[in-house]
Amino acid sequence: MKLKFTKMHGAGNDFVVIDAINQDLALTPEQWRRLGDRRFGVGADQILVVQKPEGADCDFRYRIFNQDGGEVEQCGNGSRAFVKFVTEKGLTDKRSIRVETMAGVITPRLEDDGAITVEMSVPVLEPALVPFDSAGLAGVAEGRDTLWPLAPGGQAVLVSVVSMGNPHAVQVVADVERAPVPETGPLIESDPRFPKRVNAGFMQVLGRGHVKLRVFERGAGETLACGTGACAAVVAGIRRGLLDSPVRVSARGGELSVAWAGEGAPVFLSGPAVTVYEGEITL
Ligand SMILES: N[C@H](CCC[C@H](N)C(=O)O)C(=O)O
């Protein structure tokens, strides 16, 4: 079958975006895998699928598939690419859209200056709901947060656990460039205390309004940027008393900005979205 797609990225976190409103998207698992493969197909960190909404109060439904084929709840960088895609494709004339995801409704907005801001969800902070199994662990209180001891590869670390619809484990490190992301990222991702696995964030605090961040993403490995990871890192940093909103998040692939007013409030994520090329693949 022939499939039209658009290749996009948000701060280097790259996507294959597919309009499943105007084309039939009945792919076998093998075709999904090939589409996401950087050698046998197009390749991307995530595949984003644009569909009609199920609810009356939303403009679109947005499905997200990691490179490993798993469907996931949320993608922050992808939500910016989403609003740019549907605007460029003429699928809407709105600048602010309500989008159904597995984790609820988010509202990406295309600003007049071309910037894109997304009202993400209210972070979920109860460990069991992240989900994270803290049974038998002695949490370490810091500010309003609780840090949980993990030992990936025997290396003792303390993580904050936050859900942005998808699960995150965030640790503060002295130097992200020297952090053992390739070694301990996959061990944290698959730690059995995270029954749905987890995205592992490594955050270096440069000031109360600026961090550097690397994320070993669930189902995709280390990406050049992670939007929900940036949200989770800033929420954790604010709760630990290390950061003040808004926070500039410097990822390897570019700059994001995150604002959060505190518990019970949604997180706002701003950053770039770029259309790289249009394509058609025979699967
Ligand atoms: N790997 C993530 C999904 C993509 C999130 C990331 N690309 C973002 O921008 O938020 C997960 O399995 O929860």
ipTM for the complex? Answer: 0.97
Up-side HSE of residue 20: CA atoms within 13 Å toward CB? 18
CATH number, domain with residue 6: 3.10.310.10
Q: 3-state secondary structure string, 234-276?
A: HHHHHHCCCCCCCEEEEECCEEEEEEECCCCCCEEEEECCEEE
Model confidence at 92: pLDDT above 90? yes
Peptide bond into 272 cis (omega under 30): no
d(C-alpha 130, C-alpha 167), whole Å: 6
For ligand 1, atom 12, the nearest C-alpha belongs to: 218
Model confidence at 112: pLDDT above 90? no
Whether residue 192 sits in one domain with residue 139:
yes
What is the atom index within ligand 1 of the atom nearest the CA of 10?
9
Is 0.95 surpassed by the pTM of this model? yes
Whether residue 113 sits in one domain with residue 10:
yes
Amino acid at 177: E
pLDDT (mean) for 187-207: 98
Whether residue 195 sits in one domain with residue 84:
no
- Reported as a single tens digit per residue, the pLDDT across 127-158 is 999 999 999 999 999 999 999 999 999 999 99
Whether residue 22 sits in one domain with residue 95:
yes
Question: Rounded to the nearest whole angstrom, what is the distance from the C-alpha of residue 74 to the centroid of ligand 1?
Answer: 6
- Reported as a single tens digit per residue, the pLDDT across 153-174 is 999 999 999 999 999 999 999 9
Q: Which ranges of 167-241 would DSSP assign to H, the alpha helix?
A: 181-189, 227-239
Residue 217 is assigned to a ligand binding site: yes
Model confidence at 122: pLDDT above 90? yes
Ligand 1: residues with CB < 6 A are 13, 45-46, 66, 72, 75-78, 166, 199, 217-220, 223, 226-229
Considering 3, 48, 75, 159, which one is annotated as catalytic? Answer: 75
- Reported as a single tens digit per residue, the pLDDT across 223-263 is 999 999 999 999 999 999 999 999 999 999 999 999 999 99
231 is catalytic: no
Amino acid at 123: P
Model confidence at 24: pLDDT above 90? no
Q: How many structural domains comprise the chain?
A: 2
Residue 245's domain comprises 127-264
What is the atom index within ligand 1 of the atom nearest the CA of 166?
13
Q: Can you give the pLDDT at residue 194?
A: 98
The residues near 67 (Cβ < 8 Å, ≥ 6 apart) are 36, 44, 45, 46, 219, 220, 221
Whether residue 89 sits in one domain with residue 179:
no
Considering 11, 35, 50, 226, which one is annotated as catalytic? Answer: 226
Whether residue 173 sits in one domain with residue 85:
no
Whether residue 233 sits in one domain with residue 138:
yes
Whether residue 138 sits in one domain with residue 200:
yes
Whether residue 226 sits in one domain with residue 189:
yes
Q: Can you give the pLDDT at residue 4?
A: 96
* CB-based burial, 48-58: b 16+ in 10 Å, e otherwise: bbbeebeeeeb
58 is catalytic: no
Whether residue 97 sits in one domain with residue 22:
yes
Model confidence at 113: pLDDT above 90? no
Place of tokens 């700059």: 255
